[in-house]
Structures are given as structure tokens and as C-alpha cells.
Chains A and B, each alone.
Chain A
Amino acid sequence: MPRTGVFICHCGTNIAGTVDIARAIDASRNFPGVVHADEYRYLCSEMGQDLIKNAINENNLDRVVVGTCSPRMHEGTFRKAAAEAGLNPYMLEVANIREHCSWVHRDIEEGTPKAIALLRAAAAKVALNDPLDSPELEVEKRALVIGGGIAGIQAAIDIAEAGYVVDVVEREPSIGGRMAQLEKTFPTLDCSACILTPKMVEAAQHPNINLITYSEVEEVKGFVGQFDVKIKMKARSIDPVKCTGCGVCYEKCPAKAPSEFEMGMTKRKAIYVPFPQAVPNVPVIDRENCLYFKKGRCQICAKECPPQAVDYEQQDQIIERRYGAIIVATGFDQLDPSSYGEYGYGQHPDILTALEFERLFNASGPTGGKVVRLSDGKPPKKVVFIQCIGSRDKARGMNYCSKICCMFTAKQAILLKEKVPDAKSYVFYIDVRTAGKGYEEFQRRAAEEYDVAYLRGQVGKIFPEGDHLVVHGVDSLSGKVVDIKADMVVLAAASIARADAPEVGRIVGINSDSYHFFNEAHPKLKPVETHTAGVFIAGACQAPKDIPDTVAQAGAAAVKAIGLLSKDVLKGEACTAIVNQAECSGCLYCEAVCPYNAINHIEIEERYHEEMHKRTVAEVNPSLCQGCGSCSVACRSGSINLKGFTNEQILAEVDAICLQR
């Protein structure tokens, strides 16, 4: 006969306000197997835990029911307390009489019987509990960072500094990401490259960091502590060991293609580094545009290369490696505003997105750092900035605020005034949102000291008229329709998830929101964790964010990864599925429904009518199993049980609630 103790928490008035504790205690004393019942104002406090521990020892309890808040809150606390008193921690059950009961009822006459029913169910279940052990898992002391922008770089440096080896996989030929495309950063206007390139170099030189550029993650298998990852290194066609980065190859190359780094505003060669400060400074051959790969002739780069580093025969390579932790930092894209026909983007060279406009300021950009109209090369005297293109647009775009646009628009208006002193800027906005340290001051400075006119309203149409672009909008504060004859228009296009974010999420096994931004495990308390243990997220792949937030989040993700890597072994899930192979018919429905690839099939031999026979049965890999229970529901013969949630235990709970009143 079990010796169960029941402990009920008042949780101040959270529970006691709607549940008559004394009545619940009295009822608990009469549950089968219950030999002790007690109450306390805050069971989760140290005194509360001591109360449980002492009661276990004094009454020789072998099972415990706590009637408290959700097990997501304090199950761990109470299991630990039970373990300290000498019980197996899985001999304790939580009856959630707060979220499931007191918080959803107003009337004590409704709350009390329900709490008693939930306690009775827990007592019925705990009577069938068996002691469980968590499997121990080894941790591979190496981290993988996917994405080599500022988030990935920062996370990698932090992990490397803690003494762990980290691989950074970057799809482009160089690390640097979006930040490398920026000229200046708000709110201090320091040069983006000047603060980014030292970090890029640090990442390249750090003995613990291994940069794998021009590569993509193809497959992730395994689980926390032991992710088995396949990385495809695209053929660079250059031997990185021999290459000295002299640049002769791309000077001589005759084939051109639109530069991705310059948003297609200028051309690069078919053999190229994306930008002058690229890390590694090793070119790649873009085989789609290379004359040799297209037509079989040219080979000028190979002839001109002093160290003979060009290798046309290079093949894509697959690296297979095991990692203990993964950080996803794949960044964001800019919405293509051509879907907004009224702005005429793509139909006129002087209508640019903000990121394109940013490149005009850069000394190595398409105009060599001169801010000029792409149509006629003249400096723009009137520039209209339009905010929220696709952001905060329920009808046609994204519901969310892209967060960074108000600030980068103020920044670009200030930079414009510095480059073209007689230029006048107009900003059409819905709201100016500049929360952040020094941000509001920065935006005010743009308006007050740099002569930037802020017009609250939207633009309905942009069309060319002579040399100008007429911006036809409304100033909603004065209630007037305004037509501005502008030289240039800059569109603050929404920050959106990368087009292939769903695919990356599928490969890594993390989920995303309706905009394809990756989901954190908890919006407040687990901002860098995901629902997949051992996978963390950082930067704008989670939501639009600025550089300071991205760097902070990258550091946080790194700390989580370091915490994981610092352990030699991890405690795995104790509540895993187990197959009764004598009853298993080998239909393998379970294998099909398992989301964690934790079920395999094996052949067993058994004696049957005096002869040995072989047959197929399912087998669970307990280190992969996450205890979701899908298999035990799918199993037609009822031969899979989830430890800690066996069919018998669940039926006992149901009976306790439904049959005994």
C-alpha cells in the first residue's frame, strides 16, 4: 500500500481565495493511500520545502502530491526537495490547482470541489508511479554558429573567449552581413566598417574560431549536446591556402554580374570578393557568370594568378561534424517595395530603398561615396524619405513595426545634409518611434539642427515630372494634400525574414512566427532559447532589431551555449517512451509519428512452437525521445507506454475525476 503525503499551497490568496483549503485537506485525508495531509501559505518557500521534507521523513512517505501552481513553475523545485528527503524525484506529482482551478473560478463553491478532484486524480496517479532515472548524455564541446553577420560574429567571439571551439557557417563569400553594408551607425554616427572590421578580423584570427564561408548547413540530426551536422562548402574555385588576396584575378576578369553586396546597383566581376574588407580575403568564382564555366574559354584569372591558386576543378564538399550547441543568427532581408505600385520603385532610378541609399554614402559604393542621383549624377537637393513601407500595414504588408527605420531615416537625413549642405529632407511618417538610449535626442537633432521636415502622413503616389519626382502625399496634421517636387525618394522598406528562413527552421528544427521570424522559447524569460534544447537564436532572424540589441542578444545566446558546453554530461528526459516488445506487432505507426526520429525498428528472435522466429519490433532511443507521447497514442496494440505518463496512470486520473464524487 502506498504511503502518500498531500501538501496544499495557499499561494497567498491566489489559491486560498477560491479554494477552501481546510476542506481540501479533509478530503485529501480520505484518498486511497494518503497517510498525511498538510497545508502552507507558500510551499515553494524554503520553509514550505522543509515542511515537505520533514513530513516525508517523519511519516515515512514514499509518494508526494503537491497541490500548487502549474508544474511548469515549480515541479522542479518540489522534485528536488523530495530527492533531498531521499525519494526518487519522480515519486512526486503536482496537482495544478492554481492555473487550472483557482485562477479560472470566482466562486469558492466551484473552486473547492474542482481542487479536490484534481488532488484526488494526482493521488491516484502517484500511487502508480515508479522511480525513474534520467539518462546521461555526453556533450560535444564545440559550437556551431549559423550566419556570419554581427550577431554570429559576436556570439562566436564570446564562445571562443570562453575556451570552446566554434564554427561559423556563412553563406556568402565573406562574413560581415548587413552591418558591412552600412556606412554609419546610429545614434553615434560611427563608421560601421570601423567598428565591424576589427571584430571580423578578431573572428578570423581567433584560434578557437573556424570560419566556414561560402557554405550552408544542409542537415542537422541528433539532439542537445550531440547535434550531427552536415555543412556544404560550395566550391570556391580558389585554393584558400595558396591565395594571397592580391586581387589580380578580379582586376583582370572580363565577365561581369550585378553585385549582390551593392544591391545590384553596380557590377562585380565573375571572380570577386564582395567588398574590400572581406574576411576571408579569398575570392570566389561565380560559375554562372564565369566565361570559362559558361563557354569553356578565358581562364585569364588562372593565368594571371601569381600563386596559381585558381582551381576550376574544385568540387562542393560536405563537412560532417558534431556540435554540442547551435546558434542560429541568419539575419533579415529588406522587403522589395515594387509590390507597392504607388511608390514607383523599380520604375525610376531615383526611387531607392534605404539600404540602396545607404550604399551611396560609402566610399567603395556604386557612386564612390558621392551622394548623387543615379539618373543624372547630380547631387539631390530635395529628398523625400517615406517610412513604414510594408511595416505596420495590416492590409498589404506586415502588421509589425520594423523598429529600426525611424532611426536609420534620421541618420540618413543627417548624413545627407553633411554631404550635400543645401539639401532639404522631408520625412513622411506614421509615428516617430525612437525608444533607445540616445535615440530620441538623435532624431530631434535631425529635425531641429539638420532641417529635416517631418510630415505626419502617407504618400499616395510618386511620379516623374520633368527632372523631378512628384511626391503626392498628405500632411495629416495640417490636413493638407502636399506635392513635393523631389530629386530623390528613399523608401524605408520593412525588415522581413529571409526568404529561406522556413527552410533553415526546418533543417535546424526550430519554429517561427507567421512572418517566418524564429520563435524564442518564451517572449520574456527565454528570449534566446528555442523550443529545441541546445539551439539558440540571435539577431534579426528573431525579429527586426538594431545593432545594439543584436549584439546584446548574441552575447546572451553565447552565454547559454557556453553554459551548455561547460557541462560534461547532461541529464536527459526521464519520461521517455518504452516498447513492450512482446506485444509489439511491428506495424511501426509509432516510427512514422515520432517527431524526433527517436524510434527505430529492430529484429528480435523468439521461440514459438518450439522453433526460433524472427520478427520486427519498434525500439525507442531514450536519448532522442523527448517524451511527447505521440507514439503511445498511435500504437494500435497499446504496447508503447510513456514512462511517468503510462496509460494506466492516465486512466487512474480519469477514473479519479469522473467516477468518484
Chain B
Amino acid sequence: MRYRYFPGCTLKGQAKNMENTTMAAAHALGIELVELDQWQCCGAVYPLYEDELISLLSPVRTLAAAEGEPLVSLCAACHHVLKRAQELMQRNEDARHKVTDYLEVDYKGEGRVLHFLEVLRDDLGFDKLKEMIKKPLEGRKIAAYYGCLLLRPSKVMQFDDPENPTIMEDLIKALGAEVVKSPYRTECCGAYLSVSEEAVARDTVSKIINSAREAGAEALITACPLCRYNLENCVDQDGKEPVKVYYFSELLAEAMGLQFDQLMSKALERRRGKNGNQQ
């Protein structure tokens, strides 16, 4: 299984661990993720105005660079922008002509745009994944936290049922852990309000964390670097047993039996192999 891979800026910094663990796990699962050459910003935020085409230049250039091969990303925000930009290119011929003419690329909205979780669910299959797990996370009580970017708008993202998603719970089950369902798993994490109105973000995040704790979870998994940042930094654990926050890929790698040292060396090895001397 070969995919083009778009990392996005966060995966090379703040969320480095999501990339490292995913790369290692993908390798072990026989999933080849080929990083795009000279990739650039995903666009960061999908524009609210349909005619704000300038914000689409970057994601459309990325989509075109996949050359029709399936394009995988890990960051929920990157995936969100790429998927929605693709949908607009498919739906709005006028916008497509303007953007592709400006970029001088030939792109008509083709190619699958996938989040890595979808690769696991739809292409590999959770049943198959379960068989390949080396160290099942038995006895661990894990809750999924989805946030908004992967799920909505549901008609475009086509990721999962926006009200009652199951993909991350199915992953947790496949990893051998116990699923804890928390009612706030699809609520907003506060997004960028953690910068401008921290109190609001604290309020929402505390609800998420507390409801997971009350439901019996020891940890949450997420696929979004911003969610993780807020869940870790805008919360008052109130002296109670803290609820840990992981990227889904960290638990995946753990269940695959991959150690951190191994992860690092494998990641470095791959990078050297692919890009020569580039770090």
C-alpha cells in the first residue's frame, strides 16, 4: 500500500511524535508513506468565503502534487483543509479554473484524500490491524476525542457519523484496550481561544477532561495537534488523577511493540535514506 504523505508544519515541530510514531507503525504495517517533495503550508484554515480563492492556492498545489495518488495526512487541520479544498475543486468549476490557471497546474479534483485513520480503517482494516498487534494494550481504559475538524462538515469530510463517530473507538478496540465513551468526545476543544480567551478554552477543555475521567478513562487519544495542545495546557485537573492525552499513533506504535529509541532511529534512517543528507 503506497501513499503520498503530506506532513504539514506542526508534524515537524510540536507534533513530531505523531509523525515519528505513525511512520514507524506504518512501516511495520506495510504501509508506505512517501513524503511529498518541497511541500508547503496546507493553508491552515479553510476560508469561510467561497470566493476567497487565494487561501486555496497552497492546498490545491499540494493536491496536484500528489499526482492522482492517494494523499495521506496526519494532522486533523491539514486533512480538513485539503479535503475541503478538493471538494470545492470538484464542485465549483469556476473556482477550479481560476486557481489552477493561476498555479499553472492541471488538477480536476482527482485522487483520494485520506486521513491516516481512514487508511487503517478502510484500506488496511481494523480486523487485519488487530492481527498484527504485538503487545495488546490490555486493561488500559482509553477514550477517543474527535474534536471538530475531522468530522465536520460531514457531507464534505465523509469521515464518520458526525454525532456518533466510531472510528477511533474501533481503533482502540483493535489495539486491545478498553473503550471508554465520553459524551464530550465531539465537543469543541476551544481551538484558538486558548490564545485569545483562555478562560473559555479552559471551561470547554475541563468539561471534556472531567467527563472522560468520570466515564473511567485514564487517557484520551486525538488526531489533532491543536486539540492536544489545549487538552494538555488549558485544563485544571483539580488534583485528581490526571487524564493523559496521546496521539492515536503513539498508542498504535506502542501496541505494535515499537520502542521509542527504535522509533527515532527508524525515522532518522528513513529520512536519510530518502532525502540524502537532509535532516
Partner-B contacts on A (CB < 8 A) = 340-342, 347, 461, 463-465, 470
Q: How far is the CB of A524 from chain B (nearest CB, A)?
A: 38
Q: List 15 A-B contacts (CB under 8 A).
A: A340-B163, A341-B161, A341-B162, A341-B163, A341-B164, A342-B163, A347-B164, A461-B183, A461-B187, A463-B183, A464-B183, A465-B183, A465-B211, A465-B214, A470-B183
Q: Looking at B162, B183, B187, B211, which has the most chain A CB atoms within 10 Å of its CB?
A: B183
Cβ–Cβ < 8 Å partners of A464 in chain B: 183
Q: How far is the CB of A43 from chain B (nearest CB, A)?
A: 54
CA distance A175 to B166 in the complex (A): 43
Residue of A nearest to B181 (CB): A463
Within B125-172, the residues touching A (CB, 8 Å) are 161-164
Q: How far is the CB of A386 from chain B (nearest CB, A)?
A: 15
Cβ–Cβ < 8 Å partners of A342 in chain B: 163
Interface size class of B (residues with CB under 8 A): under 10
Q: Determine the main DSSP class of B at the interface with A.
A: loop
CA distance A340 to B214 in the complex (A): 26
CA distance A465 to B212 in the complex (A): 11
Cβ–Cβ < 8 Å partners of A340 in chain B: 163
Q: How far is the CB of B147 from chain A (nearest CB, A)?
A: 15
Cβ–Cβ < 8 Å partners of B183 in chain A: 461, 463-465, 470
Known: A465-B183, A470-B183. 13 other contacts (CB 8 A): A340-B163, A341-B161, A341-B162, A341-B163, A341-B164, A342-B163, A347-B164, A461-B183, A461-B187, A463-B183, A464-B183, A465-B211, A465-B214
Cβ–Cβ < 8 Å partners of A347 in chain B: 164
CA distance A461 to B214 in the complex (A): 18
Cβ–Cβ < 8 Å partners of B162 in chain A: 341
CA distance A470 to B162 in the complex (A): 19
Question: 5 tightest CB-CB pairs across the interface, nearest first?
Answer: A341-B163, A463-B183, A341-B164, A342-B163, A341-B161
Cβ–Cβ < 8 Å partners of A465 in chain B: 183, 211, 214
CA distance A341 to B160 in the complex (A): 12
Cβ–Cβ < 8 Å partners of A470 in chain B: 183
Residue of A nearest to B163 (CB): A341
Within B53-112, the residues touching A (CB, 8 Å) are none
Partner-A contacts on B (CB < 8 A) = 161-164, 183, 187, 211, 214
Q: How far is the CB of B154 from chain A (nearest CB, A)?
A: 10
Cβ–Cβ < 8 Å partners of A463 in chain B: 183
Cβ–Cβ < 8 Å partners of A341 in chain B: 161-164
CA distance A464 to B183 in the complex (A): 8
Residue of A nearest to B183 (CB): A463
Q: Looking at B161, B163, B164, B187, which has the most chain A CB atoms within 10 Å of its CB?
A: B163
CA distance A465 to B207 in the complex (A): 13
CA distance A32 to B187 in the complex (A): 80
Residue of B nearest to A470 (CB): B183
CA distance A347 to B166 in the complex (A): 14
Cβ–Cβ < 8 Å partners of B211 in chain A: 465
Residue of A nearest to B155 (CB): A395
Cβ–Cβ < 8 Å partners of B187 in chain A: 461
Residue of B nearest to A340 (CB): B163
CA distance A341 to B183 in the complex (A): 12
Q: How far is the CB of A393 from chain B (nearest CB, A)?
A: 14
Residue of B nearest to A347 (CB): B164
Residue of A nearest to B165 (CB): A341
Cβ–Cβ < 8 Å partners of B163 in chain A: 340-342
Q: How far is the CB of B53 from chain A (nearest CB, A)?
A: 26
CA distance A340 to B154 in the complex (A): 13
Residue of B nearest to A461 (CB): B183
Cβ–Cβ < 8 Å partners of A461 in chain B: 183, 187
Residue of B nearest to A338 (CB): B164
Cβ–Cβ < 8 Å partners of B214 in chain A: 465
Residue of A nearest to B162 (CB): A341
Q: How far is the CB of B46 from chain A (nearest CB, A)?
A: 19
CA distance A340 to B211 in the complex (A): 22
Q: How far is the CB of A384 from chain B (nearest CB, A)?
A: 16
CA distance A388 to B80 in the complex (A): 31
Q: How far is the CB of B164 from chain A (nearest CB, A)?
A: 4
Cβ–Cβ < 8 Å partners of B164 in chain A: 341, 347
Q: Looking at A341, A347, A470, which has the most chain B CB atoms within 10 Å of its CB?
A: A341
Q: How far is the CB of B73 from chain A (nearest CB, A)?
A: 26
Q: How far is the CB of B165 from chain A (nearest CB, A)?
A: 9
CA distance A347 to B163 in the complex (A): 12
CA distance A112 to B161 in the complex (A): 62
Q: How far is the CB of B153 from chain A (nearest CB, A)?
A: 10
Residue of B nearest to A460 (CB): B187
Q: How far is the CB of A471 from chain B (nearest CB, A)?
A: 11
CA distance A464 to B211 in the complex (A): 11
CA distance A341 to B214 in the complex (A): 22
CA distance A465 to B163 in the complex (A): 17
Q: How far is the CB of A342 from chain B (nearest CB, A)?
A: 5
Q: How far is the CB of A113 from chain B (nearest CB, A)?
A: 42
CA distance A347 to B164 in the complex (A): 11
Q: How far is the CB of B162 from chain A (nearest CB, A)?
A: 7
Q: How far is the CB of B156 from chain A (nearest CB, A)?
A: 14
Q: How far is the CB of A485 from chain B (nearest CB, A)?
A: 13
CA distance A470 to B163 in the complex (A): 15
CA distance A463 to B183 in the complex (A): 6
Residue of B nearest to A463 (CB): B183
Residue of B nearest to A462 (CB): B183
Residue of A nearest to B161 (CB): A341
CA distance A461 to B207 in the complex (A): 14
Residue of A nearest to B186 (CB): A461
CA distance A464 to B187 in the complex (A): 15
CA distance A342 to B183 in the complex (A): 10
Q: How far is the CB of B176 from chain A (nearest CB, A)?
A: 25
CA distance A399 to B170 in the complex (A): 36
Q: How far is the CB of A84 from chain B (nearest CB, A)?
A: 64
CA distance A464 to B215 in the complex (A): 10
CA distance A347 to B183 in the complex (A): 13
CA distance A6 to B161 in the complex (A): 69
Cβ–Cβ < 8 Å partners of B161 in chain A: 341
Residue of B nearest to A343 (CB): B163
Q: How far is the CB of B231 from chain A (nearest CB, A)?
A: 19
Residue of A nearest to B187 (CB): A461
Residue of A nearest to B185 (CB): A463
Q: How far is the CB of B191 from chain A (nearest CB, A)?
A: 17
CA distance A461 to B161 in the complex (A): 14
CA distance A470 to B211 in the complex (A): 12
Q: How far is the CB of A511 from chain B (nearest CB, A)?
A: 30
Q: How far is the CB of B148 from chain A (nearest CB, A)?
A: 13
Q: How far is the CB of A402 from chain B (nearest CB, A)?
A: 22
Q: How far is the CB of B166 from chain A (nearest CB, A)?
A: 11
CA distance A465 to B183 in the complex (A): 8
